[in-house]
Amino acid sequence: MALIETFELCKYYENGTIVKAIDGINLKIEKREFTSIVGPSGSGKTTLLNLLGGIDRPTKGKVILDGIEISSLSERRLSELRLRKIGFVFQSFNLIPVLTAFENVEFVLILRGFSKKERREKVMKVLKDVGLEKLADRPLTKLSGGEQQRVAVARAIVGEPKIVLADEPTANLDSENAIALVELMKKLNEEKGITFILSTHDNRVVERTKRIIKLVDGKIIQS
């Protein structure tokens, strides 16, 4: 069974005219995939990732995640599902600014109800995985953009989700940091088997992924 499967997935916006942000997408993502979604600005990358992650609800069609049809879930159940099964990385301002790197990562585990000891172990382990164990207790303002994105990756993977969805995670980074971040994700994918879908329009990011989905006007033109 595929990890994610969509059937005729559509998201329309209506304000005077109808904008078909996502227009009839059928897609299968398997476990351990490392996929990029590419396409020009406005092609529907963000909308698609939001639909896959249960952040947004489709106008038509379905998303099956880990065997569950998510579009019919209540807001509460969806929150629970996102917490347990999905990790998110966004373009920027991913983190809670009043918390330290450690606390940001820990936040997810608190919501999950882990004990203090378990939290400490898990958080330190993922911070080590993303190479930030030394910066754990720094306030966020003392971290660079690249470091902050790595904290976001750490937060996304700390709860051992089924999949990590990253919407243009490198867009605000310089190319050196951008490549480092993708390499980090690639390593996590290869060594720990974490499934990633990331959207980007940076070629050097795209070429490091294993599968490329091209979007134009809300439709897949190449997969």
Ligand X SMILES: Nc1ncnc2c1ncn2[C@@H]1O[C@H](COP(=O)(O)OP(=O)(O)O)[C@@H](O)[C@H]1O
Please give the C-alpha separations between residue 208 and each of 4, 56, 217, in angstroms, as whole numbers.
Answer: 22, 28, 24
Binding of Mg ion at residue 170 (CB under 5 A)?
no
Binding-residue total with ligand X (CB under 6 A): 12
Of the candidate spans 11-19, 118-126, 132-140, 190-198, the one that interacts with ligand X by CB under 6 A turns out to be 11-19
- The nearest distance, CB 172 to other proteins, in angstroms, is 10
Binding-residue total with other proteins (CB under 8 A): 30
Binding of ligand X at residue 87 (CB under 6 A)?
no
Contacts of 23 (CB under 8 A, 6+ apart): 10, 44, 217, 218, 219
Contacts of 125 (CB under 8 A, 6+ apart): none
- Helix 116-129 / helix 145-158 crossing angle, nearest 10 deg: 130
Among the listed residues 83, 179, 206, 216, the single contact to other proteins using CB under 8 A: 83
Contacts with ligand X in 45-74 (CB under 6 A)? 45-47
By C-beta, is 99 or 171 nearer to ligand X?
Answer: 171
30: left (phi over 0), alpha (psi -120 to 50) or beta: beta
Binding of ligand X at residue 104 (CB under 6 A)?
no
Contacts with Mg ion in 139-158 (CB under 5 A)? none
Radius of gyration of the chain (CA): 17
- The nearest distance, CB 123 to Mg ion, in angstroms, is 29
Q: Other C-beta atoms within 10 Å of 21: how many?
A: 22
How many angstroms separate the CA atoms of 4 and 22, rounded?
A: 16
Binding of ligand X at residue 24 (CB under 6 A)?
no
Among the listed residues 36, 46, 100, 209, the single contact to Mg ion using CB under 5 A: 46
How do strand 17-29 and strand 34-38 relate by DSSP bridges? unpaired
Binding of other proteins at residue 82 (CB under 8 A)?
yes
- The nearest distance, CB 77 to Mg ion, in angstroms, is 26
Name the site residues for Mg ion (rule: CB under 5 A): 46
